[in-house]
Chains A and B, each alone.
Chain A
């Protein structure tokens, strides 16, 4: 249902407003348009501006509500980094992302390939079921998944010595097979020309060889998109990591920052701001470099919410 309404997010067509009325009313209209757009810009950007500004102030200037620091204190970033234990959290988030992505590639690529290029009994039924899972809200499966993870954790702890709670499996394994990623990859794989498959078959190769030596190398852009999604997901997630971590050893950045801010004795405001800026920077870098994939991905998947 949602996908029928899914708008095509490519920003291909430029504006169609062809008529250009000349004269004074026209100019007034332009001024008004730009005026509203700039107001919109200011409301969107002001919190960021003030965030950066406050992150450079000494504490008393933040509480007094200065707009700009009288003397930028770049030391705040060092203090925030150390006090919030950011080296640990950043490293955790990177590790979590890396494991999740590796898992997603192992689990989702073959599944997407099967849906895209193979004929088997029940294909449409299973694919429909997969798409239906996208409609299940996270809150409905939060508690059962928590219980499942606890139980598997006990099992794996007893057998392999690897617990799940407060460890990487709880943070990564449930996200390794994502219906959305499979859907995304399938759409891409289905577009690969049939000729290539014929060529591989003439060479005596099978599905595995085709997948490994043709499909995967051709799909680098969409695989990159998957990596970006996994990164955003693990960077932003709060509720689930809050539930399944108890110590800092595997807590991702979002939880680390929340704990840093909501401690018993309130953290100094300028350091809160500096820490928030630090958390935002990696996302911003990725956003500015991979803008198109990033925008399309986040807008169609409703990844945040």
Chain B
């Protein structure tokens, strides 16, 4: 009876699993195709010469074109990061299982599973170009479903695909079999976790090895080519110096944090940290321009513009948003009316409001903003048509180009973006203020704190999660912004306002699109956004107060 009962329960559980996956599979398939796999696909595309269709594997050439020799250093760092991460996972694995040495047996199916995943990737990489090329191959034929499906089936039967597929199958079967054997021999409840840890660590190591091999061979080719031209290409030394610089910067940060707990040694530690900071910073700042000297100047300019745009927009909108939210949080009449109106610029489509700003800031002497300038006794400006930097405009042409700052056209776009984002941060800040407990305020008042101290000591710290969220969202938003710049750019000033986002769009939408290069650029931008996010997350860990 009890056995029957158990099997009934079991059957129900299996049924539930099946139904759940049935419910999930359509959405998961779509999200896989259009949300997760594209990141890997972008990497794949970026390693090829790829205009409209895949042509050939060219390794890191697209990255080299974008970043100059710094591309090699970046990929070495990626490999080093993968190794470090793998070591971290393995270290955790060993630490957790020190008391149960039998569990180390799970490393074996882990290694085989990692190899199976690598073989799967290998099969996809061989099969994918053949499939993607089908439309190109059928271009001259009449449109026919049978032909297309036929080609699709044939792609699975190509000898190289079949060979890779066999290896993949062997790998998967071996991995599954070994995992089951291992589980039967050493039963443990966290078997999946152990297996996942081991497999991901070894897969990261495989990725690192592949990356290093690719990068190393490309560097060698580049050095040989330079030597034939009678030049020395000191990539390895440069890479070593800049890596040492970055490691020193990181070490300085750790040391500085640790110094506070150092007791008598505190000042010594801080001194050492400061020295390391300077040496590391010098190495980094000294080497970076050399490594980037061969980079795509349009892309560098795009990044420069994007950075100025972000640095201009984010602080302005955060400050004004906080001010308005704080004032609105007092006992105010028509509060919800104010809130609704402040939010309006963010709600309305960027396309429409950008057009309005374009006309408000047009170069005509009678445009609304120029009328205001005249009324204030200031010279009329060309605004969106003005590629000159604002510091040069204000202080005269003697200001060097490096220090000329964002162009006036970019300043208008910064103003526009701040205008749209102020209402957004006001609304979010207002919600954050509402979440602060009233008791804190009362306690402070009883202690006799004045308005400013309450703001400084209670409101700001308690708001820090909101500020963190807002900063992150707006930085990510502005780094990849496209719409407002696309509308507000003019041919006269476009070279001073085109952000990376616009440059990427131009790369893939011109009459001879370059998908490979565009993908490389977008992954570089993605990496920058990721690094920004991680650094900000790390730095704010001590400052953000999660109540």
Q: Do A and B come from one complex?
A: yes
Q: Are A40 and B324 in contact (CB under 8 A)?
A: yes
Interface residues of B in 395-449 (CB under 8 A from A): 419, 422-424, 427-428, 430-432, 434-436, 438, 441-442, 445
Q: Whose C-beta in chain A lies nearest to the C-beta of B371?
A: A65
Task: Check: A302 CB closer than 8 A to any chain B CB.
Answer: yes
A228 to chain B, nearest CB (A): 11
Contacts of B423 in A (CB 8 A): 44
Contacts of A173 in B (CB 8 A): 30, 34
Task: Check: A74 CB closer than 8 A to any chain B CB.
Answer: no
Contacts of B438 in A (CB 8 A): 13, 16, 18
Task: Check: A220 CB closer than 8 A to any chain B CB.
Answer: no
Task: Check: B135 CB closer than 8 A to any chain A CB.
Answer: yes
CA distance A207 to B23 in the complex (A): 10
B307 to chain A, nearest CB (A): 15
Contacts of B30 in A (CB 8 A): 107, 173-174, 176-177
User: Which candidate, A94-102, A145-153, A191-199, is the interface stretch facing chain B?
Assistant: A145-153
Q: Are A137 and B35 in contact (CB under 8 A)?
A: no
Q: Are A118 and B508 in contact (CB under 8 A)?
A: no
Q: Whose C-beta in chain B lies nearest to the C-beta of A62?
A: B359
Task: Check: A239 CB closer than 8 A to any chain B CB.
Answer: yes
Task: Check: B45 CB closer than 8 A to any chain A CB.
Answer: yes
Contacts of A222 in B (CB 8 A): none
Interface centre among A15, A258, A298 (most CB of B within 10 A): A15
Q: What is the size category of the interface that chain B forms with chain A?
A: 35 or more
Task: Check: A143 CB closer than 8 A to any chain B CB.
Answer: yes
Task: Check: A19 CB closer than 8 A to any chain B CB.
Answer: yes
Residue interface mask B361-389, A partner, CB < 8 A = 1: 00010111011000000000000000000
Q: Are B27 and A111 in contact (CB under 8 A)?
A: yes
Residue interface mask B508-534, A partner, CB < 8 A = 1: 110000010011001101100100010
Supposing A64-B366, A159-B145, A280-B349 touch, asked if A50 and B360 sit within 8 A by C-beta, the answer is yes
Task: Check: B77 CB closer than 8 A to any chain A CB.
Answer: no
Supposing A44-B345, A207-B19 touch, asked if A141 and B431 sit within 8 A by C-beta, the answer is no
Q: Are B508 and A143 in contact (CB under 8 A)?
A: yes
A20 to chain B, nearest CB (A): 8
Task: Check: B210 CB closer than 8 A to any chain A CB.
Answer: no
Task: Check: B6 CB closer than 8 A to any chain A CB.
Answer: no
Q: Are B436 and A147 in contact (CB under 8 A)?
A: no
Task: Check: B483 CB closer than 8 A to any chain A CB.
Answer: yes
Q: Whose C-beta in chain B lies nearest to the C-beta of A288?
A: B340
CA distance A140 to B482 in the complex (A): 13
Q: Are B466 and A5 in contact (CB under 8 A)?
A: yes
Selected from B147, B364, B445, B468, the residue in CB contact (under 8 A) with A63 is B364
Residue interface mask A8-43, B partner, CB < 8 A = 1: 111111011111100000000000011011001101
Q: Are B355 and A261 in contact (CB under 8 A)?
A: yes
Supposing A17-B329, A17-B441, A37-B324 touch, asked if A137 and B367 sit within 8 A by C-beta, the answer is no
Q: Whose C-beta in chain A lies nearest to the C-beta of B529?
A: A137
Interface residues of A in 116-157 (CB under 8 A from B): 118-121, 123, 126, 129-130, 133, 135-148, 150-151, 154-155, 157
Q: Are B42 and A143 in contact (CB under 8 A)?
A: yes
Q: Whose C-beta in chain B lies nearest to the C-beta of A41?
A: B341
Selected from B323, B419, B431, the residue in CB contact (under 8 A) with A8 is B431
Contacts of B505 in A (CB 8 A): 239, 242-243
Q: Are A5 and B340 in contact (CB under 8 A)?
A: no
A117 to chain B, nearest CB (A): 9
Q: Whose C-beta in chain B lies nearest to the C-beta of A139?
A: B480
Selected from B145, B358, B368, the residue in CB contact (under 8 A) with A65 is B368
Residue interface mask A285-305, B partner, CB < 8 A = 1: 001100100110011001011
Task: Check: B127 CB closer than 8 A to any chain A CB.
Answer: no
Interface centre among B26, B27, B427, B478 (most CB of A within 10 A): B27
Supposing A15-B331, A44-B341, A143-B42 touch, asked if A257 and B482 sit within 8 A by C-beta, the answer is no
Give 7 CB contacts A-B under 8 Å.
Answer: A7-B465, A34-B332, A36-B327, A65-B367, A65-B368, A159-B148, A177-B30
Closest 9 CB pairs of A and B: A305-B477, A177-B30, A111-B27, A144-B41, A141-B38, A144-B38, A120-B20, A159-B145, A16-B438
